[in-house]
């Protein structure tokens, strides 16, 4: 009787997952067929980059921002809490390599909140010269037309509310380890699909993605600036949600950027994913709970086991696998342009099983690890911070990245 009940439940969840995959494919189609933004809008812009530590590939990422085909002036501001930060020599090298660019290094020593990234950026804003600001993580690589495509949606459109924030989908550059490949695969084939589906269901975007956040001073002023957001873990979500609530449009740019995915050990990968999951759990509670219905392939596999490898369950698993692979290729390769998906497609089932386990475990506590620190969350806010890694999974090497994917 117990096995029959489990089989029935996993069958229903598999069918729900299949429906989600089809909805995600339709959402991706809707994104591709959306009207294009008017070309030619290119105001002067300030790029704000919060730094904390040096990572492999960081100088290459910085360099990509200095090689923009952009017709207007732009400047790059790097913020460090201390001038002893290991990233400082990289900025100095960048200044020497691109003397024609306006590149400034600014100390941001104040602690405005327990989210160090947002506290850093909030202190950079007063130093920026221009109305349009692009907040970009330290490890983001961009193409030569990134600024043009990020700023295009700010072009005024008669009869529409002004754009207050533009964000961008991104891919992950994996670095060898299983944890790194699993995270990059999830970004391209699951996370991006979820963003497009949320955009389709809400009929607009109501959040930002931490890789790239382009805003105006007017929209920041309307939400009281960044200082209050420095109390939250999912700062990117908070910025986008508040700007949308203030009556501005939030748009997804016609640009894909790339982030570095560290060479995670599996415990490091788990800790990073739990941090992301608990941040999203507290930001979009209903939406995050509904993710239970999105793990169709994982449920199909569990259904196959629960049925004792029945022919019907095998047929359902095969159909679900086919649709899941179609979604992975359609979004991960077709939209994100991540060719790593083709190499790592064999990991799609274990990745989805792990994702389901991460979803369940995210409800088991309110602590997350960020570098060597333990953060305690209450309704998305960081209410306490202390040293130590809060996980039964052994401590991995500290991660220095400041973003929240």
H or E element: which one contains 63?
Answer: helix 58-66
Residue 257 pLDDT: 96
Question: Do the bridges between strand 45-50 and strand 132-136 make them parallel or antiparallel, or are there none, so unpaired?
Answer: parallel
What are the b/e assignments for 280-291, b being 16+ CB within 10 Å?
Answer: bbbbbeebbeeb
Distances 96 to 4, 61, 68, 103, 252 between C-alpha atoms, Å: 69, 16, 17, 10, 34
Nearest 5°: phi and psi at 303? -65, -40
CB-based contact 195:336 (threshold 8 Å): no
The β-bridge relationship of strands 163-173 and 212-216 is antiparallel
Q: Are 385 and 116 in contact (CB under 8 A)?
A: no
Residues 386, 375: Cα–Cα separation, whole Å: 7
* pTM for this prediction: 0.90
d(CA 21, CA 297): 10
* Polymer length of the chain: 405
Could you report the average pLDDT of every consecutive run of 10 residues in the chain (405 residues)?
Answer: 88 97 97 88 96 90 96 96 93 96 95 91 96 95 95 90 96 94 97 96 92 95 94 94 96 94 93 94 92 96 94 97 98 96 97 97 92 87 71 36 36
How many H helices and E strands in the chain? 15, 11
Nearest to 17 by CA among 405, 349, 311, 364: 349
Contact 55, 262 (CB under 8 A): yes
- How many Cβ atoms are within 10 Å of 201's Cβ, its own excluded? 12
**Cα-trace Rg, the chain:** 21
HSE (side-chain half, CA atoms, 13 Å) at 276? 20
Backbone angles phi, psi at 105, to 5 degrees: -110, 125
**pLDDT at residue number 387:** 64
- What's the pLDDT score for residue 355? 97
pLDDT at residue 292 in the model = 94
């Amino acid at each position: 009787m117990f096995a029959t009940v489990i089989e029935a439940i996993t069958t229903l969840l598999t069918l729900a997952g299949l429906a989600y995959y089809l909805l995600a494919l339709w959402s991706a189609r809707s994104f591709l067929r959306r009207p294009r933004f008017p070309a030619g809008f290119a105001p002067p812009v300030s790029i704000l980059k919060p730094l904390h530590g040096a990572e492999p590939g960081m100088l290459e990422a910085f360099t990509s921002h200095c090689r923009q085909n952009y017709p207007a002036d732009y400047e790059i501001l790097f913020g460090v809490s201390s001038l002893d930060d290991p990233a400082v020599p990289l900025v100095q090298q960048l200044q020497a390599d691109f003397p024609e660019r306006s590149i400034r290094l600014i100390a941001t020593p104040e602690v405005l909140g327990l989210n160090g990234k947002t506290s850093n950026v909030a202190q950079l804003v007063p130093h920026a010269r221009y109305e349009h600001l692009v907040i970009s993580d330290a490890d983001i690589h961009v193409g030569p037309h990134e600024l043009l495509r990020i700023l295009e949606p700010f072009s005024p459109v008669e009869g529409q509310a002004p754009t207050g924030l533009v964000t961008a989908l991104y891919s992950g550059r994996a670095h060898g380890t299983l944890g790194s490949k699993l995270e990059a695969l999830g970004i391209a084939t699951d996370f991006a699909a979820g963003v497009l589906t949320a955009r389709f269901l809400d009929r607009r975007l109501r959040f930002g993605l931490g890789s790239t956040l382009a805003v105006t001073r007017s929209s920041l002023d309307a939400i009281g600036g960044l200082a209050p957001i420095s109390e939250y873990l999912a700062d990117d979500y908070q910025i986008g949600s508040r700007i949308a609530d203030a009556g501005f449009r939030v748009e997804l740019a016609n640009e894909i950027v790339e982030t570095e995915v560290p060479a995670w050990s599996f415990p490091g990968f788990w800790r990073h994913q739990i941090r992301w999951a608990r941040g999203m759990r507290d930001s979009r509670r209903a939406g995050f709970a509904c993710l239970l219905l999105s793990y169709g392939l994982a449920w199909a596999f569990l259904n196959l086991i629960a049925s004792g490898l029945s022919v019907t369950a095998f047929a359902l698993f095969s159909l679900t696998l086919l649709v899941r692979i179609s979604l992975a290729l359609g979004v991960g390769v077709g939209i994100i342009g991540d060719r790593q998906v083709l190499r790592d497609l064999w990991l799609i089932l274990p990745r989805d099983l792990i994702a389901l386990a991460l979803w369940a475990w995210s409800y088991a506590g309110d602590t997350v690890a960020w570098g060597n620190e333990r953060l305690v969350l209450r309704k998305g806010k960081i209410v306490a911070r202390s040293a130590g890694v809060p996980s039964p999974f052994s401590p991995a090497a500290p991660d220095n990245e400041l973003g929240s994917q």
